[in-house]
Amino acid sequence: MLIGAYEFDNRISVSVAALKPIGYTVYCRYFNRNGTEHEKPMKSFIYPLFVVMCDRKSSESQRIAITDSPSGNVLEQFQTNITRWNGLVSFWN
C-alpha cells in the first residue's frame, strides 16, 4: 500500500506502508491521468524505512506505483497520485 508520493525538482519520494528491509529492490512504475503506464519502470530500493526515491520522468506522469517486478499489471488501487510541490527546493540535489 502506498501512503503518498511527493514530487521535487528531479525526484519523487514515495511513502510505502510495507514491511520490507532497507535496500529491498522495487520498481517505480509511472502512469498518466488515464491510468496507462507510459514510462519505462525504474529500479530503486527502500531507503530509509518506508521510503522509495524515484526519478522524476515527465509531467505526463500523474500517478505512480511501487512493485516488486518491472512488469505485470498494476491495479488502480495500488497506484497513488503524485503531489507536486511547486517552488520548493529539492533536498536531494
Structural domain contains residue 49: yes
Q: Is residue 91, in this structure, part of any structural domain at all? A: no
pLDDT score for 87: 54
Determine the longest span between alpha carbons in the chain, in angstroms.
35
Query: What stretches in the chain show pLDDT beneath 50?
Result: 89-93
pLDDT at position 85 = 73
Task: Specify if 89 maps to a domain.
Answer: no
Between CA 91 and CA 71 the distance in angstroms is 30
Count of beta carbons in the 10 Å neighbourhood of residue 43: 10
pLDDT in tens, 60-74: 999 999 999 999 999
pLDDT of residue 1: 82
Could you give the CA distance from residue 44 to residue 55 in angstroms, rounded to a whole number? 9
The boundaries of the domain holding residue 77 are 2-84
Name the domain count of the chain: 1
- Answer for the pair 52, 14: CB distance below 8 angstroms, yes or no: yes
pLDDT of residue 48: 87
Quick check: is 54 in a domain?
A: yes
Distance, CA of 79 to CA of 6 (rounded, Å)? 13
In this prediction the pTM is: 0.87
Which residue in 4, 3, 11, 2 sits closest to 83, CA to CA? 4
Residue 10 identity:
N
Residue 93 lies in a domain: no
